[in-house]
Amino acid sequence: MSANNKLWSKENTSPSQRVEAFTVGRDKEFDVLLAEYDVLGSLAHTEMLEKVGLLSPEDRVVIHGELHHILQEIRAGHFAIEKDIEDVHSQVEWLLTQRIGEAGKKIHSGRSRNDQVAVDIKLYLRAEIQKTKEEVKQLFDLLISLSEQYKEQLLPGYTHLQIAMPSSFGLWLGAYAESLVDDLEVLAASWQVTNKNPLGSGAGYGSSFPLNRTLTTELLHFGSMNYNSAYAQMSRGKTEKIVSTGLATIAGTLSKLAMDCCLYINQNFGFISFPSELTTGSSIMPHKKNPDVFELIRAKCNRIQATPNELTLLINNLPSGYHRDLQLTKEILFPAIEELKACLQMTRLMLSHMTVKADILRDEKYRHLFSVEAVNELVNQGVPFREAYKQVGNLIDKGDFRYDYSKGLHHTHEGSLGNLYNDQIAEAMGKVLGKFM
């Protein structure tokens, strides 16, 4: 297909190569990711065209046969957008026309490239949300398992990065598990927005053809459609921004967990360690075991958290209708999706090989960690809280405070050291997972 033989071109027009290179940008790179979904959209669209009398049954059979063949090529990794072809939609239609002739030229009836790319992106994002959800669930399961495994092993808790109160590895790991539950609530909301069909909205103003949008909604397994044709186009960019918010929420949890791990592996903490093959060394300091994986998870997830802001800046001052600005949403969002999945996988790899240090709290520097336990014991003996607080504070000031925690800590309320409520957290996760349907 030559440069002046694009779907939208008119006779005797040939945009300059510089303009074409600028306007296409990195679009082909990301369009390849949409190829499978472009074919699926075309299968649904052409089946609908036959049902409403805009395509003969014979043409539909031929078209579907070759579309399924192209789909197999895509899934086998044998698909590419050729040099002189503008985008994935043009490539699929060109292949179809080359292979089956005139029937291939009929698949665009009742469809604009605007709603074609909109449905491709919705289908792609829907699939990627499901993949991300599964990655989150696997990390969640690991965190719950580790929380149960290490629930008896105590860990100092900090506020203001100052020694505060006793915690445990079970409480620490379970906290991140529950954080992922809330993160998936946000991702589930983005799933609901994504799971709406824009196909049939055309360029944003519908069509004079008697299209059956309900049918394509069912064929593509969308939960519903974007009903208003104008809004179907307005949802471009907005959908991507909402999905990016779900991704950013998960990234926030991973970034915080990664930061904890960077601190806890530090020799001044020494709470956890990892095998040498999962850390890196120094070019001049032979003793170093650097947490590069966690540092990169932290950095990548911080960058992912900026994605909603970047998309906001891209789409914020656009009026209704389609604008070429929206092309750039792909190069902002698609890499963020891949980065987040990689970060989830690497977090799981690292935690699967984590060693937890025992008897951390025997270190003298954690002596004051039990001051609240001592205050509460006095309160249980009938001493007013303020008086108990003062007595323990005076002992600390004099350097005379001691507390024997070997007799055990009696934390029994829901979600405390001795009652992690992990079963309830797992139940909450199950309810959230049910929203991705």
* Distance separating alpha carbons of residues 151 and 423, to the nearest angstrom: 13
Q: Please choose, from the candidates 172, 131, 384, 363, the residue with its C-alpha nearest in 3D space to the C-alpha of residue 257.
A: 172
Is 198:172 a contact under the CB 8 Å cutoff? no
Query: Structure tokens of 407?
Result: 């007799």
126-149+169-198+227-360 maps to CATH 2.60.40.420:
no
* Distance separating alpha carbons of residues 77 and 180, to the nearest angstrom: 33
Query: Structure tokens of 427?
Result: 């139940």
* Distance separating alpha carbons of residues 91 and 88, to the nearest angstrom: 5
Give the start-end residues of each E strand in 223-303. 224-225, 272-273
203 burial (CB, 10 Å; 0-12 / 13-18 / 19+) is middle
| Weakly modelled stretches of the chain, pLDDT under 50 | 1-4
Q: Quote the Cα angle for 250-251-257, to 5°.
A: 95
What backbone phi and psi angles, to 5 degrees, belong to 280? -125, 160
* Distance separating alpha carbons of residues 343 and 296, to the nearest angstrom: 9
Mind listing the pLDDT tens digit for each residue in 376-427? 888 989 999 999 999 999 998 998 888 888 777 888 888 888 899 999 999 9
Output the DSSP codes for 348-367: HHHHHT-EEPS-GGGSGGGG
- Which neighbouring-strand residues pair with 380? none
Residue 154 DSSP SS3: strand
Is 126:37 a contact under the CB 8 Å cutoff? no
82's enclosing H/E stretch is: none
Q: What is the model's pLDDT at position 417? A: 87
Q: Which CATH number fits domain 21-109: 1.10.275.10, 3.40.50.880, 1.10.10.10, 2.30.110.10?
A: 1.10.275.10
Q: What is the model's pLDDT at position 135? A: 98
40's enclosing H/E stretch is: helix 35-51
* Distance separating alpha carbons of residues 430 and 426, to the nearest angstrom: 6
Q: How many CA atoms lie within 13 A of 327 on its CB side?
A: 15
Q: What is the model's pLDDT at position 405? A: 82
Mind listing the pLDDT tens digit for each residue in 185-236? 999 999 999 999 999 999 999 999 999 999 999 999 999 999 999 999 999 9
Sort strands 162-168 and 154-159 into parallel, antiparallel or unpaired: antiparallel
Residue spans per domain, the chain: 21-109, 126-149+169-198+227-360
What radius of gyration do the chain's Cα atoms show? 29
Q: What is the model's pLDDT at position 1? A: 44
Q: What is the model's pLDDT at position 207? A: 93
197's enclosing H/E stretch is: strand 196-197
What backbone phi and psi angles, to 5 degrees, belong to 278? -105, 0
Q: What is the model's pLDDT at position 9? A: 57
The pTM of this model reads 0.91
Q: What is the model's pLDDT at position 18? A: 77
Q: What is the model's pLDDT at position 8? A: 53
